[in-house]
Amino acid sequence: MMSCDIDNLGFARVDLQRKARQGIGEVIYGEGKSAGQIIAILKSLDAHSQRPALVTRLDSEKASIVKASFGEDFSYFPVARFARLGEAKKSDGLGFVAVVCGGTSDIAVAEEAALTLEALGNEVKRIYDVGVAGLHRLLACEKELKEAKVIIAVAGMEGALPSVIGGLVHSPIIAVPTSVGYGASFGGVSALLAMLNSCASGVAVVNIDNGFGAGILASKINHIR
């Protein structure tokens, strides 16, 4: 890679060609970075026309400091701990992505996925609190599920939601295990293993609580022409 492809800030080497290579620019992971570091990286991305620029896992305290530097151009979504500099792309995907979660406690991860999708130009339909403990709630949404181009299924506890959806639809399903659950859920490991062992075909699995990763993958599928 040529040096002109990188903006070396000392503490970070901002990848200015990632969007050209991958279709999606560099995204800032907020945990472990100071507000000042996040501001500097955002300014670098902005100076090189990298909008929208996204920040994940950003707490509200740091978000308020960052917002003071960018004003109304900076949007913060506290439930998902997600931020965006600039407007979301205009929707240009092939269809809509359904973001489905098992319980209200899973919404933070589901929202991270949904906001990532919207920033990257996808129409999103949110279908929340339809876990398998009340199967009729999910079945009431069967029509929407069958119409979705891609489905993101977010669930903790036993992680059964993607398997149930997988038996109803033909669309690819991206399963997101969450760390929601009691002791034997092992911080989401039980849900992760359940999803990896799904008997439904067409289910792919991302890491625990990784709504962002699911959103990126779903967006790429939804833009394949």
The whole-number pLDDT of residue 43 equals 96
Give pLDDT tens digits for 27-55: 999 999 999 999 999 999 999 988 899 99
The whole-number pLDDT of residue 1 equals 42
- In a shared domain, residues 33 and 78: yes
Is residue 139 domain-resident? yes
Residue 161: which of 187, 184, 141 has the closest Cα?
141
- In a shared domain, residues 102 and 198: yes
- In a shared domain, residues 144 and 62: no
Upstream peptide bond of 52 is cis (omega within 30 degrees of 0): yes
Range 130-157 average pLDDT: 94
- In a shared domain, residues 192 and 144: yes
Please say which residue of 51, 85, 119 terminates a domain.
Answer: 85
- In a shared domain, residues 135 and 204: yes
- In a shared domain, residues 105 and 25: no
Range 116-123 average pLDDT: 97
**Domain that includes residue 37, residue range:** 3-85
The whole-number pLDDT of residue 4 equals 65
Is residue 178 domain-resident? yes
Q: Is 21 exposed, middle or buried (0-12, 13-18, 19+ CB in 10 A)?
A: exposed
Q: Which residues contact 10 (CB under 8 A, 6 or more apart)?
A: none
Range 148-171 average pLDDT: 95
The whole-number pLDDT of residue 2 equals 47
Range 175-199 average pLDDT: 95
- In a shared domain, residues 194 and 110: yes
Please say which residue of 59, 85, 111 terminates a domain.
Answer: 85
- In a shared domain, residues 32 and 77: yes
Give pLDDT tens digits for 76-109: 999 999 999 999 999 999 999 999 999 999 999 9
Distances (CA, A) of 13 to 20, 54, 94, 216: 17, 16, 34, 22
Please say which residue of 85, 105, 121 terminates a domain.
Answer: 85
Q: Enumerate the H helices of 49-182 as residue ranges.
A: 60-70, 107-119, 135-139, 142-147, 161-166
Is residue 202 domain-resident? yes
Spatial contact of 176 and 113, defined as CB atoms under 8 Å apart: yes
Is residue 90 domain-resident? no
- In a shared domain, residues 137 and 199: yes
- In a shared domain, residues 140 and 202: yes
CA dist., res. 63 & res. 222, Å (int): 30
- In a shared domain, residues 33 and 103: no
CATH code for position 149: 3.40.50.1970
Range 169-198 average pLDDT: 95
The whole-number pLDDT of residue 20 equals 87
Angle of helix 107-119 versus helix 211-222 axis, rounded to 10: 40
Residue 157: which of 127, 193, 126 has the closest Cα?
193
The whole-number pLDDT of residue 225 equals 84
Is residue 51 domain-resident? yes
Is residue 91 domain-resident? no
CA dist., res. 145 & res. 101, Å (int): 12
Residue 104 CA neighbour count, 13 Å, CB half:
0
Domain count, the chain: 2
- In a shared domain, residues 67 and 132: no
Calculate the average pLDDT of the chain: 94
